[in-house]
C-alpha cells in the first residue's frame, strides 16, 4: 500500500491518505494521454445509442400492440387474455447469456427459441459468430426448431389463430432484440460514468 502525505489549506496539519490498488490503477490509466477523453467519448456514444434504441423499441412495441389488438378483434377478447396463460411448469424458450468480457461490465446475449430438448440447435444473437461449422450446416434444422418453438408459444391461444397474432409475435421478438442492445448500452453508459466519477474524485 502506498501512503501519500499532503498538507491541508492551513499548512499545519499533516494528512495521510492511502491509495488502494484500484485507485492507483485508475489514476495511472487516467494519466495516459487521451484516456479520460476516451471515457467521455464512450459515455457520450453510449448515451446517444441508448436514446436512439429507445425510439426503435417504442416503434416495435407500438407495432406489436397494434397487431395484438387486431388479433384480439378478429379472434375475440376471450381468446386472447392473460387468463389463458400457461401456469404449468415450463422453462423459458428465450433466455439470456451473461458474459463478463473484460471483467468490468456485463454483456448480455439473447438466445432465442432454445428448446429444452434440443439445446445444441440454439440460435444466438446475430452479433455472435458461430464457431462450429456444424451449426451453420444444420441451419434448416434450426429453423424448423425455431418454428416449432414459435408455434408452441402461439398454441396457448388455440390452434386456429389470426395471422395478426403471428405478426405481433415477430414485433415483440424484434423489440426484445433491441432491448438487449439497450441493456448492453446501459452497461457501457454506467461503466464509463462510474470511471469518470472515480477519476474526478481521485483528482480532488
Partner 1 sequence: MANRVQIPTNSSALIAMIADEDTVVGFLLAGVGNVDIRRKTNYLIVDSKTTVKQIEDAFKEFTTREDIAIVLISQYVANMIRFLVDSYNKPVPAILEIPSKDHPYDPAHDSVLSRVKYLFNTESVASGRR
- The 3-state DSSP class for residue 147 equals helix
Q: Which triple of cell numbers denotes residue 148?
A: 416449432
Minimum separation from the CB atom of position 60 to partner 1 (A) = 10
Q: Which of 121, 168, 188, 195 binds partner 1 (CB under 8 A)?
A: 168
Q: Cell digits for 171?
A: 414485433
Looking at the Cβ atoms of 31 and 95, the one nearer to partner 1 is 95
Here the cell at position 62 is 407500438
Distance of CA 20 to the CA centre of its chain: 32
Q: Using alpha carbons, list the distances in angstroms from residue 67 to 3, 21, 80, 202.
A: 64, 55, 12, 53
Closest approach, Cβ 153 to partner 1, in A, equals: 5
Q: Does 112 bind partner 1 (CB under 8 A)?
A: yes
All residues at 6 or more sequence positions from 170 whose CB lies less than 8 Å from its CB, including other chains: none
Taking residues 2 to 31 in sequence order and writing x for each that binds partner 1 by CB under 8 A, - otherwise, the string is ------------------x-xx--------
Q: Which is nearer to partner 1, 12 or 96 (CB)?
A: 96
Candidates 5-13, 28-36, 123-131, 183-191 — which segment interacts with partner 1 by CB under 8 A? 183-191
In the region spanning residues 76 to 105, those forming contacts with partner 1, defined by CB under 8 A, are: 80-82, 85-100, 103-105
If the CB atoms of residues 138 and 167 are measured against partner 1, the closer one turns out to be: 167
Distance CA 110, CA 189 (A): 20
Selected binder of partner 1 within 27, 29, 56, 57 (CB under 8 A): 57
Q: Answer yes or no: are the C-beta atoms of 26 and 7 closer than 8 Å.
A: no
Among positions 124-143, residues that touch partner 1 (CB under 8 A) are none
Amino acid at each position: 500500500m502506498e501512503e501519500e502525505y499532503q498538507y491541508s489549506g492551513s499548512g499545519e496539519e499533516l494528512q495521510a491518505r492511502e491509495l488502494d490498488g484500484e485507485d492507483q490503477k485508475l489514476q495511472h490509466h487516467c494519466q495516459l494521454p487521451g484516456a479520460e477523453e476516451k471515457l467521455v467519448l464512450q459515455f457520450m456514444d453510449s448515451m446517444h445509442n441508448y436514446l436512439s434504441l429507445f425510439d426503435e423499441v417504442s416503434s416495435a412495441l407500438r407495432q406489436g400492440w397494434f397487431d395484438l389488438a387486431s388479433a384480439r378483434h378478429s379472434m375475440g377478447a376471450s381468446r386472447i387474455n392473460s387468463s389463458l396463460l400457461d401456469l404449468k411448469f415450463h422453462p423459458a424458450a428465450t433466455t439470456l447469456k451473461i458474459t463478463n468480457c473484460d471483467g468490468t461490465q456485463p454483456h448480455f446475449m439473447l438466445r432465442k427459441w432454445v428448446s429444452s430438448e434440443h439445446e445444441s440447435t440454439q440460435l444466438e444473437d446475430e452479433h455472435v459468430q458461430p464457431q462450429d461449422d456444424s451449426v451453420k450446416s444444420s441451419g434448416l434444422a434450426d429453423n424448423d426448431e425455431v418454428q416449432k418453438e414459435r408455434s408452441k408459444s402461439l398454441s396457448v391461444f388455440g390452434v386456429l389463430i389470426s395471422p395478426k397474432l403471428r405478426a405481433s409475435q415477430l414485433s415483440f421478438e424484434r423489440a426484445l432484440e433491441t432491448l438487449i442492445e439497450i441493456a448492453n448500452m446501459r452497461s457501457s453508459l454506467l461503466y464509463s460514468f462510474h470511471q469518470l466519477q472515480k477519476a474526478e474524485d481521485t483528482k480532488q
